Amino acid sequence: PTDFEIGRDHELPELVVIGLDGHMNDEAGELAGLTQEEAGKRVLAWCEERGQLERTEPYRHSIGRCQRCHTRVEPLIMLQWWCAMEELAAPAIASIREGRVRFTPERFARVCLDWLENVRPWCISRQIWWGHRIPVWYCPDGHITVAETTPDACAECGSTELRQDEDVLDTWFSSALYPFATLGWPERTPELEAFYPGDVLTTARDIIFLWVARMIFAGLELMGTEPFHDAVIHSYLQNPEGRRMSRTLGTGIDPDEVLEPYGADATRYGLLKMASSQDPRFSFGSIEEGRKLAIKLWNVSRLLLQNAEGAEPAERPQALEERWILARLEVGRAELEDCLNRFDFAAAVKLLYRVTFDEFCDWYAEAVKPRLYDGDADARATALAALERLLKLLHIVMPHVTEEIWSRFHEDRLIVAPWPEPDDRYAADAEALDRVQDLARIFRRSSVLVELGGEERRIFDAVVKPGRVKADGNAAAELERLRGEVGRAEKMLANERFVENAPEDVVEAEREKLERYRRELDALSR
Ligand SMILES: [Zn+2]
Ligand SMILES: [Zn+2]
């Protein structure tokens, strides 16, 4: 390129001495037929023979090499097709600025805008075999005819001897058409009507302008609307040592090595848990957590299904734990939708873990178990209804195990079952087990048992099984300890330097701790 620029500056003739076969052509005179390497040696020898070689010295410069065979790539001067960009870029810029296409994380909107605002003409022709062929035809007189369909005659002289340009369009030109070309465009097919525009595009950050920007302006130009309203730019997962995963470097992780021992659902769960706006490290711990959750879900489902055989799923809650779990599942649904709308997948799986593991399995299922064993028909019907709701929420993260469990008490498929509708009938009981849970934590930690009555007592006994442990804790000492913890947390949060300088999640964790200590203190001293 520098040679080319210098040549241009000095108005030198632009000779092309290398042919498309990679060998020197007739313009190269006696060097014709040689490769670049051979020709280079010959030129050197030619200089030496004539005593015109002053000296040789090594120096560094960069040259292009073929990605596959690593041979040196030589630049050629060739005529190419270019696409003027201003007219195409302007509506795309407006679209992003006005928020008709949103980027997540937001900072990538800037990357896309920067490129569009400084866009240069786009070289759209390529000399390769595969691709959309350039829609240009030539007649023997060299007239150019551009047409959407194969023309019969030259637009200028009427000659019927037409030859189509052999170049194809840049891959990214074809990719820009992807959102509608795949749906039958330019025909107005039912698929195009149904699926254009789409909703969400997700891709990696290094093709934001190669692909995302181009889909936006191609959609606006050819379809009149943006192809999607959200572009989610995901991060790159690094290997556990924090290095880039690469097959050639051997630093990657073979998916089969994860899928085989952990299963597809656990892998999916783990990957979502690792989702981040930064480049996270691959964590087998997250996958393992997914496996544990799948097993826990499987076991609780087996328990409910075995003990509710013959029952039809129906919400007929009679007891506190039933109204509570239906309320918790509803809280979970709302929070989950919020996470998904923000594309915060890590928060979504964290939430699903809490709902499934802590709320559904550890509390609800343990509390309702004795009533299921007793053959309580309402408890059985409600258990299946609650399980249905849980499976629907979990299905998006663990499609296989949830579908399998669903099939044990349904004829139809979970994947086509409707998403749960908002339901505030049990909202009043969403926090109904807070005190019981606080007291359970205190008991497990310090063996201090606080007397409860009624349903709270029944649930506490069923879940915590206090009879198995000697309840000989020192209540006064526990109260003292909690007061100390509350005081410590209050002091920390009153410290402006801590609140302002510590990472947000650390401060948030401290606030949560304080709230929990206060609740426990309250539960214990009531
Ligand atoms: Zn090659
Ligand atoms: Zn012509």
pLDDT at residue 471, rounded to an integer: 65
Q: How far is the CA of 169 from the centre of ligand 2 (A)?
A: 23
Q: pLDDT digits over 163-180, tens only? A: 999 999 999 999 999 999
The Cα–Cα gap between 425 and 198 comes to 34
Q: pLDDT digits over 312-345, tens only? A: 999 999 999 999 999 999 999 999 999 999 999 9
The Cα–Cα gap between 522 and 435 comes to 9
Cβ atoms of 329 and 386 closer than 8 Å = yes
In this structure, the number of other CB atoms found within 10 A of the CB of residue 351 comes to: 19
Q: pLDDT digits over 233-268, tens only? A: 999 999 988 899 988 888 888 899 899 999 999 999
Q: How far is the CA of 341 from the centre of ligand 2 (A)?
A: 57
> If DSSP codes are grouped into helix, strand and coil, which group holds residue 231?
strand
Complex ipTM > 0.85: no
> If DSSP codes are grouped into helix, strand and coil, which group holds residue 103?
strand
Give the residue from 230, 274, 269, 254 showing the smallest Cα distance to 104: 230
Q: Where are the beta strands (DSSP E) in 265-356?
A: none
Cβ atoms of 321 and 360 closer than 8 Å = no
Ligand found nearest the CA of 70: 1
Q: pLDDT digits over 498-525, tens only? A: 888 888 888 888 898 898 888 888 888 7
Q: How far is the CA of 144 from the centre of ligand 2 (A)?
A: 7
Ligand found nearest the CA of 139: 2
User: Looking at residue 204, what DSSP letter applies?
Assistant: E
Q: pLDDT digits over 430-472, tens only? A: 999 999 999 999 888 888 888 888 999 999 999 988 876 666 7
Chain mean position to CA 400: 19
Summary mean pLDDT of the chain: 92
Q: Mind giving me the DSSP string for 2-70? A: HHHHHHHHTT------B-TTSBB-GGGGGGTT-BHHHHHHHHHHHHHHTT-------------B-TTT-
Amino acid present at 255: P
pLDDT at residue 73, rounded to an integer: 86
Q: How far is the CA of 69 from the centre of ligand 1 (A)?
A: 4
Crossing angle (nearest 10°) for helices 454-464 and 320-341 = 70
| Domains of the chain, CATH where assigned | 1-78 (3.90.740.10), 82-234 (3.40.50.620), 268-429 (1.10.730.10), 434-525 (no CATH)
**Total residues belonging to the chain:** 526
Cβ atoms of 368 and 384 closer than 8 Å = no
Q: pLDDT digits over 174-199, tens only? A: 999 999 999 999 999 999 999 999 99
Ligand found nearest the CA of 74: 1
Q: How far is the CA of 155 from the centre of ligand 2 (A)?
A: 7
Q: How far is the CA of 487 from the centre of ligand 1 (A)?
A: 71
Ligand found nearest the CA of 65: 1
Judged against a pLDDT cut of 80, whether residue 294 lies above it is answered with yes
Residues within 5 A (CB) of ion ligand 1:
66, 68-69
